[in-house]
Amino acid sequence: MKAKNAILGLSAAALGLGGCTGNMNSTHATLSTKADTAAYYMGYMNGSQLQQMGLEGIDMEVLVAGMNAGLQKAEAPADMMQMNMYVRQYLSELQQERAKAAEERGKAFLAENAKKDGVKTTESGLQYKIEKQGEGEIPADTSVVSVHYRGTLIDGTEFDSSYKRNKPTEFPVNRVIAGWTEALKMMPVGSKWTLYIPSNLAYGPRGAGQLIGPNETLIFEVELLGIVPPQDKKAEK
């Protein structure tokens, strides 16, 4: 797992932090040589990975002290295997805690959301609100559809948008997350719905990408533009 491996490779970043003194929150450095530039880049990349892992709250002085100790070949607090296992265990526990917290936030959000006007809840737990009801054909399980969409977390963080790309997306109805498949098979072409998808109908405990963590409840604005005719699909091949 990249996230777990990132912290184990942080010693490389010590090239740029080994002589670091003063304000640990500084984001600037004088890059007067190629070595300085390479060191800063390594530090930046590792810092970005830590941020993506949700470790932005770690004590930088402790982190730098550990890297300096390694560079200076100071006595290790444990052997490499023990330290590796400890870090992996810590990251695993952290991920589990965050997954549980995300699941609880999602359940609380959906419970309140279900009370709002216009929000409907299906047997599976999918919630949707009809913003605009179309009058066209309803897709089948194997239909290929053309949609515009915008996806956010329940805190409003946007993780994807076909609107921003200014290009609709096409895909088979049965090749997306379960919440989408269920909704699309109820939507007439021309409809625009807001979907509130519990984690078990989305990406579940595995999450997706950098922004969708484990057990996240997702919100999608979905506009069903059309069903791609079979002849168009053959022409694309």
The question of whether 128 is a catalytic residue gets the answer no
Candidates 130, 138, 154, 177; catalytic one: 177
For this structure, is 171 an active site residue?
Answer: no
Rounded CA separation 230/237 (Å) = 11
Confirm if 198 and 126 have CB atoms less than 8 A apart.
Answer: yes
User: Are 102 and 216 in contact, with CB atoms under 8 Å apart?
Assistant: yes
Distance between CA 187 and CA 47 in Å, rounded?
Answer: 44
Active-site choice (7, 40, 203, 212): 203
Q: How far are the Cα atoms of 4, 57, 166 from residue 233, in angstroms, in the given order?
A: 41, 49, 21
- Output DSSP code: residue 56: T
149 is catalytic: yes
159 labelled catalytic: yes
Phi, psi of 220 (to 5 degrees): -130, 135
Cα gap 75→133, rounded to integer Å: 68
Q: Is 59 a catalytic residue?
A: no
Which of these is catalytic: 36, 138, 154, 159? 159
Question: Is residue 185 left, alpha or beta, with left meaning phi > 0 and alpha meaning psi from -120 to 50?
Answer: alpha
Q: What are the C-alpha distances in Å from 96 to residues 67, 105, 106?
A: 27, 14, 15
- Give yes or no: 203 in active site: yes
Write out the catalytic residue numbers. Answer: 149, 159-160, 177, 203, 220
